[in-house]
Amino acid sequence: MIDAIGRPQSVLVLGGSSELAQAIVAKLVPARCRTVVLAGRESERLSEAAERARAAGADVAETVAFDTTDIEHHLAFVDQVFDRFGDFDLVIAAAGVLGTQGVLERDPVATASLLTTNFTGLAAAMVAVAGRLRHQGHGRLIVLSSVAGLRARKVNFVYGSSKAGLDAFAQGLGDSLVGTGVSVMIVRPGFVVGRMTEGMTPAPFSTTPDAVADAVVKGIESGAGVVYVPSVLRWVFAVMRQLPQLVWRRMPG
């Protein structure tokens, strides 16, 4: 159970090799998170992430095979994980790909694949997770959304729309869970300087994985429903969303 000062003792990560998720786990383990289960596609990065959690002091740090696009197996996958490891205080939905807009705009298969990875498949997994959290009567689902979903930009509207879908889904899911003991926290980072954005010019108000992790931990402790990283983006995007379309279209990439 999440303790009186908001510290979870067990976490399941969907997208276990994610840099942002790993930064969050690195803060949770020293704060007495004892069970870390990293669900993802098999890779060295995934197994090294589990090794790091073990070295940091987790009693249990395991990897399990998970692909967001493997939708028909999500229910059985989630049941197996909860049956094997017990209750989870925290589930982090971190899986996602940025894609290359120039390719996506011309390739319907690539576009559908990105939307499935980031939205349809992950949302389907969240349905299965929510079922088990509802059953255990406690827990928090952290969804790594993005400010890119608040208003799609022409330079990355495929990714942006996948995040818009995920964000709306997470909002509705959170509302549907009120009174069950389970809650949802949506995290909306801006540009994070890291693996996903390697080689790109940082956008204004860019941030780091460590800052995202700090904001997430703070959000868990305070019971926040939505977290912006950096927090000023809440106000920046309140304005951006109201800009007339003509102005928005002329915004630099």
Catalytic residue, chosen from 77, 88, 119, 159, is 159
Tokens linked to 42: 């098999």
Q: Return d(Cα 138, Cα 82) in angstroms, integer.
A: 13
Do residues 188 and 233 lie in contact, with contact meaning Cβ atoms separated by under 8 Å? yes
Under the binding rule (CB under 6 A), the answer on residue 194 touching ligand NAP is: yes
159 among known catalytic residues: yes
Angle between helices 74-85 and 121-136 (to 10 degrees): 40
The 15-34 site mask, x for binding ligand NAP (CB under 6 A), equals x-xxxx--------------
Q: Is the peptide bond before 230 cis (omega within 30 degrees of 0)?
A: yes
Do residues 18 and 192 lie in contact, with contact meaning Cβ atoms separated by under 8 Å? no
Under the binding rule (CB under 6 A), the answer on residue 160 touching ligand NAP is: no
Distance of CA 159 to the CA centre of its chain: 14
Under the binding rule (CB under 6 A), the answer on residue 186 touching ligand NAP is: no
Tokens linked to 31: 């704060």
Q: How many residues are listed for the chain in this entry?
A: 253
CB of 59 to ligand NAP, least distance (A): 23
**Binder among 2, 128, 184, 192 for ligand NAP (CB under 6 A):** 192
The 94-133 site mask, x for binding ligand NAP (CB under 6 A), equals xxxx-------------------x----------------
Under the binding rule (CB under 6 A), the answer on residue 165 touching ligand NAP is: no
**Which residues of this protein are in contact with ligand NAP, per CB under 6 A?**
15, 17-20, 40-41, 43, 45, 66-69, 94-97, 117, 144, 146, 189, 191-192, 194-197
